[in-house]
Amino acid sequence: CLQERHDSGAGSRVDEYKFYTSWGMVMFGENVPFSSGSVMEISRDGDVITSKMECPPFCVSPCYGRMVEVAEKVARSARTDFLRVDILVRGRCDAVFVSEVELFPASDFSQQLKDAVAARWRKGYII
């Protein structure tokens, strides 16, 4: 469920989302507020898969769909089988920026998501 954050001073705050893509499609995203570690794993459609914190204050950004589109555009342009695209969102979606791309991310995530990414990756190679 997409909800706006209920934080004071959120207009100037910058949050980070990391999107894991395979063959140009976002498999899932992570919310990493203040670059301080993953708070939740989020499906491509914006549904929370796992969460370590409560909503509010840690909720899926209302511009999550827009961030998915940006991440997929970057991943398709890179023409790679796997890519992590990190996106910063300022305030209440005042601006969205690509901050980093990683071919070999050192992030860890749930086994369920590892399996989903691996299945899509193998499908691309017709394995």
Q: What is the pLDDT of residues 63-106, one digit of tens each?
A: 999 999 999 999 999 999 999 999 999 988 999 999 999 987 76
Share of the chain above pLDDT 70, in %: 87
Sign for the CA dihedral angle at 127, 18, 98, 64 comes to positive
Q: In what order do the strands lie in the sheet containing 40-43?
A: 48-51, 40-43, 25-33, 14-22, 82-90, 95-102
pLDDT at 22 over 60: yes
Share of the chain above pLDDT 90, in %: 53
93: left (phi over 0), alpha (psi -120 to 50) or beta: left
pLDDT at 53 over 60: yes
13: left (phi over 0), alpha (psi -120 to 50) or beta: beta
Q: Are 44 and 27 in contact (CB under 8 A)?
A: yes
What's the pLDDT at 82? 92
Residues, the chain? 127
Q: Are 55 and 33 in contact (CB under 8 A)?
A: no
Query: Over the Cα atoms of the chain, what is R_g?
Result: 14
- Top-confidence residue, 62 or 55: 62
